[in-house]
A and B are shown apart, each in its own frame.
Chain A
Amino acid sequence: MGIWSNLFVLLLIFPFCTPDPNDEMCLTHLSQSLQDPLKNLQNWTKSSFAKPCDGFTSYLQGATCNNGRIYKLSLSNLSLKGTISPYLSNCTNLQALDLSSNSISGPIPLELQFLVNLAVLNLSANQLSGPIPEQLAICAYLNVIDLHDNKLNGLIPQQLGLLVRLSVFDVSNNRLSGPIPASLGNRSGNLPRFNASSFDGNKDLYGYPLPPKKNNGLSVLAIVGIGLGSGFLSLVLSFTAVCIWLRVTEQKLDAEEGKISQLMPDY
C-alpha cells in the first residue's frame, strides 16, 4: 500500500513520466502494421512503447517527445514495409509524421484526420495506394503534405485548399486524375502557391498549373467521327434539298418555256 501511494505521489510530482496509454496503443499498432525486415527500428519493443518518453527525452528511435507525449515520428529511409496503422491517430500530440522513403503500401488511413496537431505529413516515396483522404483538411495545422512518388489514385480533394497554413504540397508522380482544384492550383490572396512540379507525373491530372485537359473525355477520333458523320449527313440532306428544289424550278421553267415557245419564232 505504501509503495502504491508512493507511486501515486511520484506520478503527481512527475507528470511527464506517466506513460500515455494512447501513445502506447498508437506505437504498438504501428509497430505491428509496419514490417522492418532489416531490423532498423532499434528498441522498438513493448517496454519502450509503454514508456517512450520521459518529459522531453525520447527512448524510442525516430520519436521526439514533448511533455511526455510523442511529438514527432521520423522513420525516414529505413526500408520499412507493411501498412500504416489507423491507430496512429491515438498519438494525438503528433505534430510531425515522416515515413518517407520506405516501401510502405496500402492506403493512407482516414483516421489521420484525428491528428489535430499534425503540421507535417510526409509519406513520400512509398507504395501507398488509394485516394488522398479529403478528411485531411480537418488537420487545420497542416503545413506540409508531401505524398510524391506513391501510387495514389483518384481526385485531389479540393478541401485541402482550405488549409491556410499549407506551404508545401507535393503529389507529383502518382496516379491521380481529374482536375486540379483551383483552391490548390491557383490559390488566392497571400496563401503560398504551388507550381507545376507539385503535380507533375500524374497522367490524368489536368488544369492549372498543369496544361488543360487534352481530350475532354471524347477522343480526337470520336470528335472527328462526329464531325465527319454529321457533315456527311448534312451533305446528303442539302443535296437532296437542292435536287428537289431544282426539280421544282425546272418544272416551273418548263411551264414558262411552253409559254415562251408560242411567242418566239422558230429559227
Chain B
Amino acid sequence: MMDQWVLAILGSASVFLCLIGLLLVPVYGNTEGDALNALRTNLADPNNVLQSWDPTLVNPCTWFHVTCNSENSVTRVDLGNANLSGQLVPQLGQLQNLQYLELYSNNISGRIPYELGNLTNLVSLDLYLNKLTGPIPDTLGKLQRLRFLRLNNNSLSGGIPMSLTTVTSLQVLDLSNNHLTGPVPVNGSFSFFTPISFANNQLDVPPASPPPPISPTPPSPGVSNSATGAIAGGVAAGAALLFAVPAILLAWWRRRKPQDHFFDVPAEEDPEVHLGQLKRFSLRELQVATDNFSNKNILGRGGFGKVYKGRLADGSLVAVKRLKEERTQGGELQFQTEVEMISMAVHRNLLRLWGFCMTATERLLVYPYMANGSVASRLRERPESDEPLGWPIRKCIALGSARGLAYLHDHCDPKIIHRDVKAANILLDEEYEAVVGDFGLAKLMDYKDTHVTTAVRGTIGHIAPEYLSTGKSSEKTDVFGYGVMLLELITGQRAFDLARLANDDDVMLLDWVKGLLKDEKYETLVDADLQGNYNEEEVKQLIQVALLCTQSSPMERPKMSEVVRMLEGDGLAERWEEWQKEEMFRQDFTHAHHPHTDWIIADSTYNLRPDELSGPR
C-alpha cells in the first residue's frame, strides 16, 4: 500500500515537473517559432526554401535562413530572392531581437503589418522588389536603430510618415518606384536623402535645391580697407591734436604775457663776487616780485626799457628796470663794472641802485620804489585827488636835484654825467625829497652800439645845443637840462611846449622869459596850479638860475656845485648882474651877426620826428 502511494506521488510529481518543464522552457522558442511558422503558412513557397522550417522543434534556430543569437532568439531572417508569394503576418512583430528582415525580390503582396514597429532592434528592413500595397506604417518611426530601409519597387501608396524623420540612425532610404503621394520630408534624417530615394512616385518633389547660387561676389576688401583708412586717419588726427596742443598752449601763454619771453637761466650766484651793498637778485625772485613782469605792474617805459613795480619777498617795494633786450648784449664783466659804479653813487638826492640781475639774456636793475612818482607826473599828470606841488616843495626839489647832480659831477670817480636831466627823471620819495634817477645808464647802455634811440626821444627841449650839434656831452650838458627842468618846475609846462611857445611868439625863450621878468608878469609864467601861492622874489631868483643854466655856451653855464650855492642864496645876485651886462653887450652884437645860431639849430629839431634823432651820434 505504502509503495503504491509512493509511486503515485512520485509519478504525479514527475508528471507535474514535466508539465512545468514543457510549459516554461519552450515558451520563448515557441513564440518566435510560432510567429515564423505563421509567416510560412501565409506564404506560398514554390521553391521549397522553407522546407526546413519544422514547427515541432524547440526553437527556430536550426531552420535555414534564420539566424539566432546566443540566447536562441532570432536576429536575422534572410529570404531575399526566394520566389515567395503571399502576405506578411502581424506575428512578425513578436521577433523582439530581430535585426535583419530581408524579404526582398519576392512576390509578396498585401500590406506591411504595422506591428513591425515593435521590432525595436531592427537594423535593416528590406522589402524591396515585391508587390506590397497600402501605406508605409507610421509605426516604423519607432525603429530607432534602423539604418537601412528599402521599400522600393512595390506598389505602396499613401504618404511618407513624418515619424520616419526621427530615425536619426537611418543611413540608406529607398522608397523609389512606388505609388506614394504627398510631400517629401526634408528635415531630420531625411535631410541626407536626395531624389534618388524618392524617384518614380507621385510625391510632391520638394524644392530640394536652394536657389542656385553662384553670382560670385567676392568679399569686398574695400570695407576692411576703408576701416584701415579710418583707423589710420583717426590715429593721425589724434596724434596731430596731441602735438598741436602744446603749440597752441604756448601761443596762448605768450599772448597772455607777450613780452615775457625770456629764458630762465638759473641765477649764477657767484659767492666770489662781492659787490659791496649791491645785491644780486635771481631772475626767479624778480619774476615773483613783479608777478611775472605783468603789464599791469608797468610803472613807465623809458629809453632803456620798461620799469615794473614789484614787491620783494621781504615786503619792500622796488622798481625793476628791465633793460631792453637788444641793448644788453655787452660783456657781463663790463655790465657788472658799470652797475658797481652806479651803486657807488650814494646820496640823499640820488636814486640808489639796490641790486641787479643778470642772465644770459636778461639785464635787470632794482631800485627802491618811489611812492610819489616823478616831478613831471606830479606836475602834469596829477590826478584830481592829489594836491598840486606847493611852492616850498618846488624849491626843495630844485635844490635837492641840484645837489644830487653836483654829487654826480664832483664826488664820483669817475664822474657821472647824467645826460638826460628832466622833470621825468626827478623822482619824489615819501617826504617829497627830490631823487635823481636814471643816471649812469646812458654810459652803461652806450658801450655796445652807437645808436641813440628813445633816450633822446621825449627829451626834446632838454638837449643842450652843443650836445645836439657835436654829440659831445659834459657836466654842462646836464646843467642845461637842469635849467630847462627848473623852468618846467616853475611853469608846469613841458620843455617842448615851452620851446614851441617861444617859437610861436617868434621871440627867443630867454627873451620871452626875460621880458616877463622885467614886467614882473609872473602870473603868465608861473604854474596856474600854484594859485598865486608863491614868493615872487624866489620865483625871480629861480628863473634867474634857470636862465644862467640854459646859456647856449657851455662855458658860461655855472657848474652844478655853483648852482647849489646860488640856490642856497650865495652869489646869485653877482652872477646875475654879470650875466645881464654880457647880455646887453651881446644884444648889440647880435643885430649885426647871428648870435643865436645854436637856438636856430635847436628850433630846427622841433619839426623833426623823434626817429630822425635816432641817427648815429
Contacts and interface: CB of A to CB of B under 8 A. Distances in A.
Interface of A: 55-56, 64, 66-67, 71, 93, 95-96, 116-117, 119-120, 134-135, 137-138, 140-141, 143, 155, 158-159, 162-165, 167, 178-179, 181, 213, 216-218, 222-224, 226-235, 238-239, 241-242, 245-246, 249-250, 253, 257, 260-262, 264-267
Interface stretch (B53-61, B251-259, B478-486, B555-563): B251-259
Given A67-B152, A120-B192, A242-B248, 5 more contacts: A222-B232, A223-B231, A227-B239, A253-B259, A267-B424
A70 B168 CA distance: 22
B209 A249 contact: no
A238 B488 CA distance: 53
B601 interface: no
Interface stretch (B17-25, B211-219, B282-290, B463-471): B211-219
A229 B321 CA distance: 45
B240 A267 contact: no
Interface string B232-263: 10011111111110111011001100110000
A265 B424 contact: yes
Interface of B: 104-105, 126, 128, 150, 152, 172, 174, 176, 186, 191-196, 208-214, 216-219, 224-225, 227-228, 231-232, 235-244, 246-248, 250-251, 254-255, 258-259, 299-303, 307, 319, 321, 373-374, 376-377, 381, 422, 424-425, 427, 437-438, 454, 457-458, 610
B302 A227 contact: no
A264 to B, nearest CB: 5
Given A165-B186, A253-B258, A117 B219 contact: no
Contact of A266 (B238, B251, B255, B458): B458
A253 B105 CA distance: 115
15 contacts: A56-B150, A67-B196, A138-B213, A141-B193, A143-B192, A165-B186, A213-B224, A218-B232, A224-B235, A239-B247, A249-B258, A265-B373, A266-B438, A267-B307, A267-B319
A138 B214 contact: yes
Contact of B438 (A143, A230, A267): A267
A116 B373 CA distance: 110
B240 A231 contact: yes
Given A213-B224, A238-B248, A134 B214 contact: yes
B247 A158 contact: no
A224 B236 CA distance: 8
Contact of A119 (B193, B213, B246, B373): B193
A122 B485 CA distance: 115
A74 B235 CA distance: 55
A27 B83 CA distance: 33
Contacts of B319: 267
A213 B231 CA distance: 13
Contacts of B238: 227
Contacts of B437: 267
A115 B255 CA distance: 81
Contacts of B299: 267
A213 B226 CA distance: 13
Contact of B208 (A56, A141, A233, A241): A141
A265 B300 contact: yes
Nearest to B437: A267
A217 B209 CA distance: 38
A24 B90 CA distance: 43
B236 A117 contact: no
Nearest to A92: B196
A115 to B, nearest CB: 10
B321 A261 contact: no
A217 B224 contact: yes
Contact of B301 (A232, A249, A266): A266
B425 A266 contact: yes
A140 B321 contact: no
Which of A143, A250, A267 gathers most chain B CB within 10 Å? Answer: A267
Contacts, number: 175
B191 A216 contact: no
Contact of B458 (A116, A141, A230, A262): A262
B489 to A, nearest CB: 15
Given A66-B196, A250-B258, A261-B454, A238 B214 contact: no
Nearest to B199: A67
Given A56-B126, A95-B192, A257 B243 contact: no
A74 B324 CA distance: 100
A116 B374 contact: no
Given A242-B251, A257-B301, A141 B194 contact: yes
A246 B251 contact: yes
B379 to A, nearest CB: 10
B100 to A, nearest CB: 13
B236 A230 contact: yes
A22 B176 CA distance: 21
B478 to A, nearest CB: 16
B192 A119 contact: yes
Given A265-B376, A266-B438, A140 B243 contact: no
A107 B223 CA distance: 30
A73 B238 CA distance: 61
Contact of B176 (A67, A162, A227, A241): A67
Contacts of A162: 210-211, 213
A143 B193 CA distance: 10
Nearest to A231: B239
Contacts of B458: 261-262, 266
A232 B242 CA distance: 10
Contacts of B218: 155
A216 B227 CA distance: 7
Contacts of B457: 261-262
A178 B219 contact: yes
Contacts of B191: 119, 143, 165, 167
A71 B214 contact: no
Contacts of A227: 232, 235-236, 238-239
B194 A265 contact: no
A56 B149 CA distance: 12
Nearest to B367: A267
B250 A232 contact: no
Contacts of B373: 265
Nearest to A232: B243
A65 to B, nearest CB: 9
A249 B219 contact: no
Given A216-B224, A217-B225, A238-B244, A134 B216 contact: yes
Q: Closest 6 A-B residue pairs measured CB to CB?
A: A231-B239, A140-B209, A234-B240, A267-B300, A227-B235, A235-B243
A95 B232 contact: no
A267 B321 CA distance: 9
Contacts of A222: 232
Given A67-B174, A223-B235, A224-B235, A234 B243 contact: yes
A224 to B, nearest CB: 7
Contacts of A241: 247
Given A218-B228, A242-B247, A267-B438, A117 B195 contact: yes
B479 to A, nearest CB: 20
A231 B211 contact: no
Nearest to A266: B302
Contacts of B307: 267
A164 B104 CA distance: 35
B374 A71 contact: no
Given A119-B194, A242-B247, A264 B228 contact: no
B219 A266 contact: no
B213 A159 contact: yes
A60 B77 CA distance: 24
Given A235-B247, A242-B251, A246-B254, A228 B239 contact: yes
B605 to A, nearest CB: 16
Contact of A66 (B172, B236, B247, B424): B172
A266 B303 contact: yes
A226 B237 CA distance: 10
Contact of B302 (A223, A234, A250, A267): A267
